[in-house]
Structures are given as C-alpha cells and as structure tokens.
Amino acid sequence: MKALVCEQFGALDNLRLQSVSSPTPGPGQVVVQVHAASLNFPDVLMCQGKYQVKPPLPFSPGAEVAGVVCEVGAGVTDWQPGEAVMASTGYGALAEQCVVDAARLARLPAGMSFAQASAMVVTYGTALHALRDCAGLQAGETVLVLGAAGGVGSAALQVARQMGARVIAAVSSEAKAALCRRQGVDAVLIYTEPAQLKSQIGALAGEGGVQVVFDPVGGNFALPAFRSLAWGGRYLVVGFAAGTIPAFPLNFALLQARRVLGVYWGEVIRRDPAAYQAVLRQLCDWVTAGLIAPVISAEIGLEQAVEGLKAIEARQVRGKVVVKFTDTD
C-alpha cells in the first residue's frame, strides 16, 4: 500500500511517499481502509519531533481518519468488515490502510461523508471537550477564540455558538475574518499588535467582558487575551501554533480569580474512552441535524499531503485540509 512516511524527525521535506506492507491488526485492533484523513498542526510538530508524543520511527503522520473496516483483530466483537467508521488514530492515518484500537472507532451516521467525518474527530472533539468539559461554558457567556479561522479555531466558533455563547473571533487577516463572519459569529477582530489586543477585545466584549478564551495559538497575543478575561474567567490552553509558549504573571490570575485550564484531548481519548464516545455522539447529532459542519477549505490527494502540512505550518490554511483516498466519497 501507499503511505506517507517519516523516517527521521526534522523538516517536512523529509517525508516520503512510499510503498509499504499492509498492516495487520493486533488484539483489540482493526484495520481501516482509509477514505479520508485530515491534517492538523500536531501532525507538523510530530514530524519535527516537537510534539509531546514521539512515535517510533518510521511512522506515518495523520491523527484523524474516516474509512471502512477491512479486518479485525482477536477479541474484537463490536466491529465487522464493511462498516463505515471514523476515529482518532494519534498517527498513521496518511496511508491507504491504518491500524486503530477498536475503542477509538465510532460509526458514521447516515448522510455524513468520509471527508466530513475525518475533519471532525480531533478538532471538533477538542473544541467541545474544551468548552463544555473544561471551561463549563454556559449559554449567554462570551467566548473569545484566537486563531479562529484555523481548523480547531473554526470548530470552536461553531461549538460555542451551538452552546448558546456570544462568540468573538480573533484572526490575523481580512480573508480569515471573512470566513469567520460566514460562521455567524457575533464579532470579529483582526489583531496586528499585541499591545492593542486588550483594548480591541474590550471594545467588542462590552461591560460584561469575556468569560472564556480559547487559545490554540500562544505567542505574544496570549497575555493580552488573558488580561481581557472578566472576574472568574477561564483561559483554555489548546496549543501553540505561534511557535512560542507564553508565560503569565500569576498576579493577573489572582486579582481577577481567573483560571488557566489545559486542554489535552488526545490524552482524554486514551484515559477515558467513554467520554470520547460521548463527545463524538454529540458532535454527530449536531452534524446530522445541520447545526454544525466542518469547514473544509481543500481536498487533496496523498501526493499533496506534504504541501498541505507546510501550509498549516505557515498558518495559511483556513478551516481544514482533507486528504482524499478515493474519488467517490
């Protein structure tokens, strides 16, 4: 089978499209014939050796997948060949077939495409877990989403709106702002200088302020966003797409009783399969009801996957990039 392979950590140009042996499922695992896999910023970090998880070399990147079960391992009784599924894989999805732990599988609802499903598990799962389970977001509260036009940012916009929040989208360009406006957010700000961000947020948030900040970016804009939180506000640490990890003076937390909350959806999936399945059920219900829909900006072939990852690294992608493995889905 064909697979995108990382043989050494480093530059994305090190990745190679290769012909490799088809995988065999171990106990409790299944093999999925991949129809679609979407790209995420952690894929970039993993290939560079900068992610908190370092797979044994060589490996194929790709953390979320949708396809059809083609083989089951010993002890697997809930899944049969031919079933359409989606899953968080951690890595391995950028291949024509991948091995997945059976506990990570979920069935595709009727009417959901493989491309949609592959774009939902990691980013929308992260957004719902962060906003509902970590922050306890309540209807009527105001949420500020940094990096709001990216994969997980655009997911957070939709999830927050579905939960009844007032949503402010923060982005770095007018083109990205236009995408956020199409998602029906309440306000959009374009940030250019960290020193101006707190006042920009204050002008849009109004007297009640911001109750929740969803931050997948980090960098120089994190502290002014943190300082914009109202009394008792919650700051969701989702990632560091800007490339630097910010540090907060703790007095800014003390004086306004603010909370900093880490969001590690991948570890939740490993530790709490029941919570993972509950999140996916909620997301599937919203998708099938037409209440949310993954923002897919491009569908590419496996041959273009490296270029797609480079675009994510450069923060040029709006929404999600999906790698398609068939022409019929």
pLDDT digit string (tens) for 277-326?
999 999 999 999 999 999 999 999 999 999 999 999 988 888 999 999 97
pLDDT for residue 111: 87
Closest C-alpha to 65, from 46, 88, 96: 88
Average pLDDT across the chain, whole number: 95
Beta-sheet strands, E only, within the chain: 2-5, 16-19, 29-38, 64-72, 84-88, 97-101, 105-107, 142-146, 166-171, 187-190, 210-215, 229-237, 259-262, 296-300, 320-324
When pLDDT is averaged across residues 17-27 and rounded to a whole number, the result is 96
Terminal C-alpha separation, the chain = 19
pLDDT for residue 192: 86
Per-residue pLDDT tens over the stretch 214-265: 999 999 999 999 999 999 999 999 999 888 999 989 999 999 999 999 999 9
DSSP classification of residue 100:
E
pLDDT for residue 315: 86
Query: Residue 180 in contact with residue 155, Cβ under 8 Å?
Result: no
When pLDDT is averaged across residues 109-113 and rounded to a whole number, the result is 91
pLDDT for residue 328: 53
When pLDDT is averaged across residues 100-125 and rounded to a whole number, the result is 94
Confirm whether pTM is higher than 0.85: yes
Give yes or no for residue 78 having a pLDDT over 80: yes
Question: Phi, psi (5° rounding) for residue 51?
Answer: -85, 160
pLDDT over 70 percentage in the chain: 99
When pLDDT is averaged across residues 199-205 and rounded to a whole number, the result is 92
- Supply 247's token pair: 């540090």
Per-residue pLDDT tens over the stretch 30-51: 999 999 999 999 999 999 999 9
List all residues 6 or more positions away from 65 whose beta carbon is below 8 Å from its beta carbon: 32, 34, 36, 37, 86, 87, 89, 93, 98, 100, 118, 121
pLDDT for residue 329: 57
pLDDT for residue 75: 96
